[in-house]
Amino acid sequence: MAPPKLNDAAAKAILLKWPTRTSTLWVPPTAAGHWIRAQPRDANSNIATPTLRTPGSSLFKTQPDGMWVFLNNSVYADAICVEVCGSQQNLNDKQSRYSADVRSLVLNCPLKWLSETISLQKGCILPRWQACESISACPTAELNLPV
């Protein structure tokens, strides 16, 4: 008998247990800063979350099941994506979306998402752009960063 497959909702529930902000699961690419969870969105939030897009396009975008981003002072972004796949074909399709040798990607971060406050350790509440500790000034518009 085949093991049961994890459905999308159950996978996202597991991913929501992962940290909102981390510098220990993945080491930041610079000396300071944190990875910030972009997906899945918290259940109590209705703010649009970041998307990965083909440069210059608003049609071709993707939102992985799980995504943590490192925003390097509004210059570039790094992304760690987690996808839940029920078949080899599904895995191949999703994997092709992120292949660096196929095309470049841009991370679109809505201003409301950057400004939304999140809860951190010890009861601290900060806007996301401050919580990442890698953006030096409050953004005034959405960020479109090369990945």
In whole angstroms, give the CA distance from residue 64 to residue 84. 9
Could you tell me how many residues make up the chain?
147
Kindly report the pTM of this predicted structure: 0.87
19-29 pLDDT, tens digit each: 999 998 899 98
In whole angstroms, give the CA distance from residue 127 to residue 32. 17
- The pLDDT assigned to 91 comes to 73
Place of tokens 């459905």: 7
Which carries the bigger pLDDT value, residue 95 or residue 40? 40
91-127 pLDDT, tens digit each: 777 776 666 656 688 999 999 999 999 988 878 899 9
69 with 35: CB under 8 angstroms? yes
147 with 76: CB under 8 angstroms? yes
Please tell me the least confidently modeled range out of 48-52, 83-87, 106-110, 133-137: 83-87
pLDDT confidence bin for 78, thresholds 50/70/90 = very high
Beta-bridge partners for 34: none
126 with 120: CB under 8 angstroms? yes
Place of tokens 């943590």: 68
The H or E element containing residue 10 is helix 8-15
